[in-house]
Amino acid sequence: MSSTTPAVIMDNGTGLTKLGFAGNDSPSWVFPTAIATRASASSSKPSAPSKPSFLSSSTSNSSSKLSGGNLSSIKRDMEDLDFYIGDEALEAAKGPSYSLHYPIRHGQIENWDQMERFWENSIFKYLKCEPEDHYFLLTEPPLNPPENRENTAEIMFESFNCAGLYIAVQAVLALAASWTSSKVTDRSLTGTVIDSGDGVTHVIPVAEGYVIGSAIKNIPIAGRDITSFIQTLLRDRGEKDTSLKTAEQIKQEFCYVCPDIVKEFNKFDSHPDMFAKYMVETVSKSKIEVDVGYERFLAPEIFFNPEIASSDFLTPLPTIVDQVIQASPIDVRKNLYKNIVLSGGSTMFKDFGRRLQRDLKTLVNERVQQSERLSGTKSSGVAVQVISHKRQKNAVWFGGSLLAQTGEFKSYCYTKQDYEEYGPNIVRNFSLFSVP
Amino acid sequence: MPAYHSTFLAEETQDSRTVGNFAILPIKTKFKGPAFPSLSDYDIIDEVLDLFRANSFFKNFEIKGPADRALIYGILFVSQCLNSLNIRVSHNEAVKILTNLSLENFAIPGDIGFPLNSLYTSPKDKNEELLLRQYLSQFRQELSSRLIERLYAEDKSKPSKYWLAFTRRKFMNKSL
């Protein structure tokens, strides 16, 4: 059965979870990685059900757990089913009886008990599939500890009994997703991935499918910071509606990256039609008009000029990318410069790739010229290319879908039999996809 | 990309006019004062108004020469002007308010009340002091009158709210 069904792709990010089947070009479900459980205050039991099992068993109240007996374990079983995930969780948490949790922090799973229940609902309530019949492709952040992989495998094989499992690094999948761009000629798994979601932006160098862990850098600027910067600008101007939701809508609809902010200010002066208007519909069905001004280009500018919004982080994104590549082994640097791939919602601004490429090229050319001057020899030059493509928003998921639909995918997975024969540590290593 | 510098830095030569380390740049103006008439179409006042919005976002600025000091002074003065206006001030009232503001007693580099004394050197003697005071007075009048043109370009009855939004921002965390 599992030889004909499509693989399930699950990309659990800090902010959003993307779910769907291999072969599709977009995920079937995208919802917040959130779970709402019944608030523990309402139950009289000393150990809260929302606590992960390994925590509650190691604490001093293990005696009360033993004496709890059969009755409480039945009650607990019922409570285990009383939870919501995704958008429903956000809705449920508005009431008094549920509390909201985010089981993934900084890309890594922090609460395994909640994550297990999150996956349970993902599979049975959203995907509505039998895990025995499907192979699963899960994603992990770079530098994920192997113990986390083992825990994941334990849950997938023992709780869900899934047919096969592959855990892929998100950055590698993002590279694979860029193969859809016409600029990519040699489908290699070497490149620099700029992954910018809601919380953090990662710059990850990948050489032939392996992440160069020592050179990864994180930037504390991402979608959320852009939204709150828009909000401050709206408030400075005293707009009628300055909610976070309005700021977010403005970010998605109106923002773009400009080549030079002074010229852009002047362009707004000479072309008043650059100022836009955004209509907010309030609860009482009345409409409020919010003017959209300079935030259109100033908001994404914080990637390139972090100083305008924050006072503690001042290094522009192009400089960080340059530092990351310079920290990588010398024999892959040229290929890392040549294949810079964007991934994640915050890289979706118009002309983001173009500006990044221009700024990075300036940095690289300066260095090349300096070394030519010092050594007196002619350099063959370094090509800098930033790849933008249509699947950027869900690049990681799409890359997974692309790889998992190939015929060879299943031979790279570990099956339930493999797991039972070798134990959880089998998932510490996965062989890489050979490039078709 | 850090904050923008004055383009007049490039035109500085040995015999450029300065007082202390403040550049006395030519201005095209009808107000009386010691400034030379500007030969080019684009003078320091235009530059201040162009760079004001971009530079207001920056807290760090590396001074590269006397022209940058003129630029900083201009940007901080624009910010002071905007702070003395609000959204209900009409064009005529604004002219009155800003003319008073540019002519009132103001501190020049070297005076006790001047906020940037750590970055500006004071004039050498009484003559230089007089020259700088007269130049700045002319500079302020011309700047405020051209600022008003921009503020009320769209609507004579109220200033542009996009400009007024910059009152909250402080270039280099300083104000005059």
| Residue appearing with tokens 């002309």 | A351
pLDDT at position B130, please?
Answer: 93
Taking CA atoms, B126 is separated from A182, A429, B25, B139, in Å, by 70, 80, 20, 20
Nearest to A265 among B1, B53, B169 (CB): B53
Lowest-confidence pick of A346-355, B3-12, B91-100: B3-12
Give the residue, A291 or B11, on which the prediction is more confident.
Answer: A291
pLDDT at position A67, please?
Answer: 46
Tell me if chain B has a CB within 8 Å of the CB of A275: yes
pLDDT at position A351, please?
Answer: 95
- Chain A residues whose CB is inside 8 A of the B51 CB are 262
Tell me if chain B has a CB within 8 Å of the CB of A366: no
CA angle B100, B103, B106 (to 5 degrees): 115
Nearest to B59 among A275, A311, A316 (CB): A311
Q: Which domains does chain A have, with CATH numbers?
A: 8-40+80-169+394-427 (3.30.420.40), 181-220+315-388 (3.30.420.40), 223-302 (3.90.640.10)
CB B172 within 8 A of CB B72: yes
The answer, as to whether pTM is greater than 0.90, is no
- Chain A residues whose CB is inside 8 A of the B161 CB are 237-238, 291
Inter-chain residue contact A233 with B165, CB threshold 8 Å? yes
Domain ranges of chain B: 7-173
- Minimum Cα–Cα distance from A317: chain B residue: B1
Inter-chain residue contact A294 with B51, CB threshold 8 Å? no
Report the gap between the CA of A314 and the closest CA in chain B (Å).
Answer: 10
pLDDT string in tens for chain A (436-residue length): 566 899 999 999 888 999 999 999 999 999 999 999 987 654 444 444 444 555 444 444 444 444 445 555 555 566 778 899 999 999 999 988 899 999 998 889 999 999 999 999 999 999 999 999 999 999 999 889 999 999 999 999 999 999 999 999 999 999 999 998 888 888 889 999 999 988 889 999 999 999 999 999 999 999 999 999 999 999 999 899 999 999 999 999 999 999 999 999 999 999 999 999 999 887 788 889 999 999 999 999 999 999 998 878 999 999 999 999 999 999 999 999 999 999 999 999 999 999 999 999 999 999 999 999 999 999 888 999 999 999 999 999 999 999 999 988 999 999 999 999 999 999 998 887 765 4
d(CA B36, CA B113): 28
Who's near A286: CB < 8 A, 6+ residues apart?
none
CATH topology of domain B7-173: Arp2/3 complex 21 kDa subunit ARPC3 (1.10.1760)
Tell me if chain B has a CB within 8 Å of the CB of A53: no
- Chain A residues whose CB is inside 8 A of the B167 CB are 236
In this structure, the strands spanning A287-292 and A276-281 are antiparallel
- Chain A residues whose CB is inside 8 A of the B58 CB are 307-308
Lowest-confidence pick of A418-422, B39-43, B65-69: B39-43
Test the B interface: residue of A266, A267, A269 with most B CBs within 10 Å: A269
- Chain B residues whose CB is inside 8 A of the A314 CB are 60
- As for the ipTM of the complex, it is 0.92
Nearest to A236 among B1, B54, B168 (CB): B168
